[in-house]
Amino acid sequence: MSLATVWFVFIGLMLTGYAILDGFDLGVGALHLFVARNDRERTQVLNSIGPVWDGNEVWLIASGGALFAAFPHAYATVFSGFYLAMVMLLGALIVRATSIEFRGKETARIWRAGWDLGFALGSIAAVLLFGIALGNVLRGIPIDPDGGYRGGLVGLLNPFAISIGVLALGLALLQGSAWLVLKTEGPVQDRARWTGGFALFLILAAWIAASGLGWSDARRVFDNFGSLLAWAAPVLTAAVMVLMVMAWRARQDGRSFLFSSLAVLGMAATAGLALYPNLVPAVDVSRSVTIDNAHSSDTALTLLLMVGLIGMPIVIGYTAFIYWKFKGKVRLDEAGY
Amino acid sequence: MDVVQLDRLQFALTISFHFVFPAVTIGLAMLIAIVETLRWWTKRDIYDRLSVFITKLFAVTFVIGVVSGIVMEFQFGTNWSRFSGFVGDIFGVPLAAEGISAFFLESAFVGIVLFGRNRVGSTLRWIAGLLVFGGTTLSAFWILVANSWMQTPAGFKIVTDSSGAQKAQMTDFFQAMFNPSTLPRFFHTVTACYVVGAFFLMGVCAWYVLRGRGSDVTSFALRLSVAIAFLGAGGMFATGDLQTREVQANQPLKFAAMEGVCQTANGVPLDLIAIPPSQNCSTGTGLGISIPYGLSAMSDLNPNGQIKGLDQQPDQSLWPPVAETFMSFHLMVGLGAMMMLLMLVGVFFWWRHALEKHRWWLWLAVIAIPAPIIATEFGWMTAEVGRQPWIVQGLMMVSAGTSPSVSATDVTISLIGIVLLYALLFFLWIYGLTREIRRGPELAPGEHALAPPVAVGPHEGGVTPATGKAGR
């Protein structure tokens, strides 16, 4: 395996880490208005992600930095090509973050209602945009000779990409529900059990839709699935989903969160397999941004690998430590929003 | 405006806005680290209350810094895709290292600093404070590595990639990371951030004294911040001198524009206040106060030493905007001098045991809260405007770095969105700070402030001023 391929896998794993971790707090945001009906419940929901959401978001920033460093052309092509979508994504992330932080600062109803709405809509929009962007990358985009993509916002809204957006939303809702069941009690927990079930159906529907639409509209997605080995990823994902359903029904809350996270990992691995060896496949294959034509020099990649191999275990270590420190159900009597 | 101008405007706007927040958080994180160390060491309640108070100011600022920072991380790709392709091999490494070594650290442990007062022990809380401080300063280092490489590129070669585009490729990691301007700029910028934090706390404490709300906490915090602000203001001149010499050596045109030197000459005076030269140098600096032979004496340590002017580069299209560079540099230095003066007086009053007695000085300390922030912004303008028309000095023009697929309409839309959103963020920041400042630090048991803290009703899950259990 070449150094660049190692980086393809490494960035894939970092983005998966982001999808798992920010996935649950984005999901919590998307569920917020529904699972928490009064002010006390909403504070409870916010406090469940309070100490960790910011750290979760760093996975995105670090992945962006790593993509810039390891595959500058992929970073440049996607971010400039999806310009307005990216700006909207950044706007959504800003709105939801400020909503989390400023909601608790006043007690006026309109103040809190406004931030509640911002938190929910910002989270939903962010997840959908991530999914739609990924869907378009998987499908392949028309890249101009100068390396730019000029499809605009409308070009991104094709059925396949939207189905991936819905799939992403389903996964975030599942992650968020599993997290809330783990961290809360009472009515919020009860509603989160319900939303988790709903999310499972949504995922199933979106998965079937994406497969069908992929076959008709994004055939390149199946290119790598000629080999039997590649099928391991979707098959294992399906198996994890079955285990997830069983754990959810048995109210094994810890396992549910684990299986939900593994399902995200499985979906990400499937997407990664469908993409390989491209980073941004083009409609005209000769213009595709691939691992081979986009990677940085071996000097830079080696350095980065050292930074990553030393840094990431430490990061994972103290992140786990902090989750452990804040383990257990949310208590409203302590520091919080 | 064409798309290059719009891209530049958007970048200038987002970076100037963003930089306010890291500057304040880096400064406050340093203060938190000091106070936490005192708290951990002495176990005294006063340090606990002060640490919690600074943490609240930190928290409000931190969140705005985080969200405006995400925009920065992605803007290289969205608006400057050709620049990203050109520098990725070198520029990406510090950016990725910043994410992995610094952002994770500060964001993870900020959770403990802000939420962990009742969850973790005294020692872990102290360590978390130190790690947040370390993380913020480390992130400043990495981003300055990246920016310094744009000013004084080193340790690279230019290669042509498969698509025919040129790009810089790293040949020597240490030369690229520790390029000629990295360390002087890191020292100068980080010292500036510490000064920003110290002036911030100093002004807030002065306000409490003026409003009759002084307490043991504010009294200690005032002295701590005066000490740091004084040392820091001195440090600014030392590191500034270092950096200016570096600029003179490595970016001589920027230096000539900063000092307003049109013609190469001997015995050049130092302009203190003056009308800047015109862009083509048809008129030089005028109508001002200057020290004869000053610039030669300072830069060359010889009153008759030669200073190279803008005329060293006959092609005027390669000159930076002269007036903007000159003015931002002089405004920065002028503000710095005024801050130094304020701190000299402050230290004198402190020595005479009269720090809290001179109301005019306290008022000046309040007014001076934004002074170092503004000076820092002028400093960055000097650095970045002085680099024009290059995006990477000598290697790539700004106009060659934009994204080909992003139109002027696209950038206009994003610019409008960003202006609106950032206006909201700025309002929220001021609101959040005002709210925490009006509440103030907790008082010692049995102590009464003259004016009661403004109680914003503790609601379900809200915050309770009496116990200081406010989150971010």
Segment B155-190, tens digit of pLDDT: 888 888 777 778 888 888 889 899 999 999 999 999
Using CA coordinates, name the residue in chain B closest to A71.
B88
Q: What is the largest CA-CA distance in chain B?
A: 75
The alpha-carbon radius of gyration of chain B (Å, integer) is 24
CA distance B408 to chain A (A): 12
pLDDT of A24? 94
Q: Which spans in B152-181 are helix H?
A: 173-177
In angstroms, rounded to a whole number, what is the distance separating the alpha carbons of residues B24 and B372? 10
Listed in order, strand segments (DSSP E) in B150-279 are 156-160, 166-170, 265-266, 270-275
Higher pLDDT among residues B25 and B454, named by residue:
B25
Chain A residues inside the 8 Å CB shell of B463: 104
- CB within 8 A of B435, min separation 6: which ones? A105, B456
> Which one of B81, B106, B414 would you mutate to disrupt binding with A, by most A Cβ within 10 Å of its Cβ?
B81
Is B461's Cβ below 8 Å from some Cβ in A?
yes
Q: Is the pLDDT of residue B463 over 60?
A: no
In angstroms, rounded to a whole number, what is the distance separating the alpha carbons of residues A180 and A44? 10
In angstroms, rounded to a whole number, what is the distance separating the alpha carbons of residues A244 and B452? 54
Chain B residues inside the 8 Å CB shell of A144: 404-405
Is B413's Cβ below 8 Å from some Cβ in A?
yes
A169 HSE (CA, 13 A, CB side): 24
Chain A residues inside the 8 Å CB shell of B73: 61, 64-65
* H, E, C per residue of A24-47: HHHHHHHHHHHHCCCHHHHHHHHH
In angstroms, rounded to a whole number, what is the distance separating the alpha carbons of residues A211 and A228? 17
Token output for A44: 């409870």
Contact B280, B316 (CB under 8 A): yes
What does the buried/exposed string (b/e) look like for A185-222 if buried means 16 or more CB atoms within 10 Å of the residue's CB? eeebbebbbebbeebbebbeebbebbeebbeeebebbe
First to last CA, chain B: 40
Q: For chain A, which domains are there?
A: 3-325 (1.20.1630.10)
> What tens digit of pLDDT does each residue of A195-211 get?
999 999 999 999 999 99
Contact B455, B467 (CB under 8 A): no
Write the residue in A40, A296, A308 that is nearest to B92 by C-beta.
Answer: A296
Write the residue in B92, B97, B461 that is nearest to A337 by C-beta.
Answer: B461
Is B416's Cβ below 8 Å from some Cβ in A?
no
pLDDT band for B470, please (50, 70, 90 cuts).
Answer: very low
pLDDT band for B458, please (50, 70, 90 cuts).
Answer: very low
For B:324-343, CB contacts with A below 8 A are: none
With CB atoms and an 8 Å threshold, state whether A335 touches B110: no
Is B115's Cβ below 8 Å from some Cβ in A?
yes
> What tens digit of pLDDT does each residue of B21-53 get?
999 999 999 999 999 999 999 988 889 889 999
- Cα angle: B256, vertex B262, B265; to 5 degrees: 90
Using CA coordinates, name the residue in chain B closest to A93.
B67
pLDDT of B465? 39
Is B363's Cβ below 8 Å from some Cβ in A?
no
Contact B184, B331 (CB under 8 A): no
Exposed, middle or buried: residue A320 (CB in 10 Å: 0-12, 13-18, 19+)?
A: exposed
pLDDT of B431? 93
Q: Is the pLDDT of residue B471 over 50?
A: no
Chain B residues inside the 8 Å CB shell of A80: 77-79, 81, 403-406
Q: Is the pLDDT of residue B456 over 50?
A: no
> Cα separations (Å) of B471 from A125, B105, B111, B202, B443?
26, 19, 10, 23, 18
User: For chain A, which residues score pLDDT lower than 50?
Assistant: none
pLDDT of A19? 94
CA B188 vs. chain centroid, Å, equals: 9
Reference A12, options A272, A315, A263, A222; nearest CA is A272
In angstroms, rounded to a whole number, what is the distance separating the alpha carbons of residues A227 and A222? 10
Is B353's Cβ below 8 Å from some Cβ in A?
no
Indicate the average pLDDT of chain B. Answer: 87
> Cα separations (Å) of A314 from A319, B105, B108?
8, 10, 12
Token output for B239: 């590191």
